Amino acid sequence: MAHHQSARLDRSFAALSDATRRGVLERLGRGDASITDLAARFEMTLTGMKKHVSLLEEAGLVITKKVGRVRTCKLGPRRLEDETAWIERYRQLWDARFDALDELVQTLTNKEGQ
């Protein structure tokens, strides 16, 4: 995997490692919202919410736009394709690993029965 791709996975998985940030993504999935709306919805200070939104923005998961005094947030262009692909590959390795262990146990059990 190229270095920049890997760095992007670092940022997106880190962005997803917090319940509030996952909640913000789900909320924005139902419609755009201002930082003030989000802070109120998640019972958080504006400063706290700005930090969460910055991390989501750096990960490419959220885009913000300031119009007048209001900063509106919406979902970014990333659909978590690479993250899904990584997890899917891991699950295949995991399955193969545990299938191999099952087979080994089966072989040993059969030998014992002989």
Q: Is 25 in the site for its own copies (CB under 8 A)?
A: yes
Rounded Cα–Cα distance for residues 7 and 41 (Å): 31
The verdict on 18 binding its own copies (CB under 8 A) reads yes
Q: Work out whether 30 is an interface residue with its own copies (CB under 8 A).
A: yes
63 counts as binding its own copies under rule CB under 8 A: no
> Between residues 25 and 39, which has the closer beta carbon with respect to its own copies?
25
Residue 42 interacting with its own copies (CB under 8 A): no
- Best CA proximity match to 25, nearest among 83, 88, 85, 75: 75
Helix, strand, coil proportions of the chain in percent (round to 5)? 70, 10, 20
Q: Whose Cβ is closer to its own copies: residue 43's or residue 88's?
A: 88
- By the rule CB under 8 A, 107 interacts with its own copies: no
> What amino acid occupies position 51?
K
